[in-house]
């Protein structure tokens, strides 16, 4: 499957819609960043993804990872491509300069992430989790830990993982039982088993640095008693007690090893304060959640490019309004419903990309902005993160399925590669917290839990856009409706907290459509009069006409929720 990086669309967002030049000029603590440097990095990343990674996407899926004598062997070509990645210095882009990083803002890392994801998601995950581990180490590690682990993580000589899930508990990490026993040497002995560890074992790097959640002796129960530890696969060239017991046979992402890891009295180092592991790990998880939203964007781009090219060439039946009379059959792009499927992909893809760029600007401001604006930026970032992770992955999965539908029967077979996109995109709705967990986070914690402050902050952004938008009336109506809906839910939840659970998914999806409406309005305002700009405005109109009305259905579902979920008798599920 061929891939061409969407450089024109990225440049439009970076230079015009979100004015990253002014944004970078306002950052205080990052390496000085100009757009020529950023675009040079993007161009070189594009070359690498198009030439080196994309040709391995389908072959890596077909071959998969091999588990031989306790060792994991990545698909053919992956190791060589990873060595080029290391030599190119991509892993150091956003790292701390004191440890060999380039110190560029988080946004540069996101631009790289999207392009690499479109090139080859399975391969990219080996590098992506390392960047998340780097962020956690930079935020919570002491000088000794940073000096010991950051330099080689930043070069890519070492890679990283996050180890949360255990066989008896998934997202409910408060139930985990992995133990950490202090040793006489001041470190810890880690004992337990973790599952579903992406990139947990492979042959691409010299060492793998696992970030592991575990319990100290006499720690409090639940999440308040969890600590975070650095557990290397190797220490000073000697194998640590980290054993890969198996790799999962999965629906997709066959080129990335998802491992069961046994920690057999492995040597570990405490990262952050005792019993504060969840707080520290959330640095990694929030980075990963935004990353997963960007993965959905990357896969949508690949699906859209492929299905658009097919629709322009495939001839079948006569269109209702044929452009060239006398042909036996027309290109299927001339059929209205094929254009609907393509426009649905385009609207979600470009809307998701714009939303991720907006959110990563907030992340830059939190990390490097002036102190007087960091609190507000962090509140908005926390509010929008579950929407990026939850909503964008939901509509991303819809979009890649539409790519298959454009191909028809040729999409269902593996020859054209679009069926792989569906398999690979499916996990994005699950890992790093399912859509349902994101929904509970958005409604329960980020909206009702903070008294609506973050929602009010975004409402100001929405109304500011409405004041200059041709869709101003629609946006103002949505603002009032969103506020009313939230107020009603808040009052009802005070009487019965179960209402949060039954309303959360629809609230997330409603919020996602409204937030995407805001970024589409902004893109339409900056669009010029060339073909690219006209296409932007027409896609914006399609979003408002055909996709935004779905928000009304989610609103009505919330209002009509009654007690049809909570009062349903479990025995009623039986159909025997």
Active-site residue list: 432
Contact 437, 430 (CB under 8 A): no
DSSP state of 574: -
- What burial letters (b/e) apply to 197-213, b meaning 16+ CB within 10 Å? bbbbbbebbebbbbbbb
CA distance 410 to 310: 10
DSSP 15-83: IIIS-HHHHHHT-SSSPP--HHHHHHHHHHHHHHIIIIIGGGHHHHHHH--EEETTEEEPPTTHHHHHH
Contact 33, 377 (CB under 8 A): no
DSSP 467-516: TT-TTHHHHHHHHHHHHHHHHHHHHHHHH-THHHHHHHHHHHHHHHHHHH
- What burial letters (b/e) apply to 75-97, b meaning 16+ CB within 10 Å? bebbeebbeebbebbbbbbbbbe
Give strand pairing partners of 194.
261
Contact 220, 269 (CB under 8 A): no
CA distance 128 to 130: 5
β pairing state of 242-247 and 179-182: unpaired
Phi, psi angles (nearest 5°) of residue 406: -60, -40
Contact 4, 50 (CB under 8 A): yes
Contact 516, 10 (CB under 8 A): no
């Amino acid at each position: 499957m061929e891939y061409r990086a969407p450089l024109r669309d990225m440049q439009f967002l970076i230079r015009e819609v979100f004015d990253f030049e002014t944004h970078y000029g306002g950052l205080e603590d990052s390496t000085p960043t100009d757009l020529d440097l950023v675009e040079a990095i993007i161009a070189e990343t594009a070359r690498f993804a198009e030439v080196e990674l994309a040709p391995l996407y389908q072959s890596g899926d077909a071959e998969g990872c091999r588990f031989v004598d306790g060792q994991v062997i990545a698909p053919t070509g992956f190791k060589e491509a990873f060595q080029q990645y290391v030599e190119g210095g991509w892993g150091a882009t956003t790292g701390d300069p004191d440890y060999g990083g380039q110190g560029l803002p988080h946004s540069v890392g996101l631009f790289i992430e999207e392009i690499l994801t479109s090139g080859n998601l399975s391969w990219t995950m080996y590098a992506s989790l390392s960047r998340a581990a780097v962020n956690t180490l930079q935020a919570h590690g002491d000088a000794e830990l940073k000096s010991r682990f950051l330099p080689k993580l930043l070069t890519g000589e070492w890679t990283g993982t996050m180890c949360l899930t255990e066989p008896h508990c998934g997202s409910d990490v408060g139930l985990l039982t992995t133990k950490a026993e202090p040793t006489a040497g001041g470190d810890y002995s880690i004992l337990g088993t973790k599952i579903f560890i992406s990139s947990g074992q492979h042959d691409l790097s010299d060492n793998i640095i696992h970030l592991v959640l575990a319990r100290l002796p006499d720690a409090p129960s639940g999440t308040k008693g969890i600590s975070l530890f650095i557990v290397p696969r190797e220490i000073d060239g000697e194998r640590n007690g980290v054993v890969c017991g198996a790799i999962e046979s999965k629906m997709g992402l066959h080129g990335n090893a998802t491992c069961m890891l046994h920690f057999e009295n492995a040597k570990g180092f405490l990262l952050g304060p005792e019993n504060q592991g969840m707080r520290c790990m959330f640095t990694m998880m929030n980075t990963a959640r935004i990353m997963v939203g960007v993965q959905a964007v990357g896969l949508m781009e690949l699906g859209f490019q492929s299905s658009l090219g097919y629709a322009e060439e495939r001839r079948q039946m006569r269109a209702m309004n044929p452009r060239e009379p006398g042909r036996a059959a027309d290109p299927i792009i001339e059929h209205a419903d094929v254009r609907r499927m393509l426009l649905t992909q385009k609207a979600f893809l470009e809307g998701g990309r714009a939303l991720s760029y907006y959110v990563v600007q907030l992340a830059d401001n939190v990390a490097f902005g002036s102190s007087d604006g960091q609190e507000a930026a962090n509140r908005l970032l926390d509010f929008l993160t579950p929407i990026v992770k939850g909503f964008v992955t939901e509509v991303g999965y819809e979009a890649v399925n539409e790519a298959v539908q454009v191909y028809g029967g040729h999409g269902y077979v593996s020859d054209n590669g679009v069926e792989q996109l569906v398999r690979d995109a499916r996990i994005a709705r699950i890992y790093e917290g399912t859509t349902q967990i994101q929904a509970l986070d958005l409604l329960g914690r980020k909206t009702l839990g903070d008294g609506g402050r973050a929602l009010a902050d975004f409402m100001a952004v929405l109304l500011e856009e409405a004041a200059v938008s041709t869709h101003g009336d629609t946006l103002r109506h949505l603002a009032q409706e969103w506020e009313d809906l939230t107020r009603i839910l808040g009052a009802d939840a005070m009487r019965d907290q179960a209402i949060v659970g039954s309303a959360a998914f629809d609230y997330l999806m409603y919020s996602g459509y409204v937030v995407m409406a805001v970024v589409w309005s902004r893109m339409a305002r900056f669009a010029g009069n060339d073909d690219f700009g006209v296409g932007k405005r027409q896609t914006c109109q399609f979003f408002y006409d055909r996709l935004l009305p779905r928000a009304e259905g989610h609103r009505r579902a919330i209002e009509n929720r009654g007690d049809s979920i909570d009062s349903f008798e479990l025995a009623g599920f039986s159909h025997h």
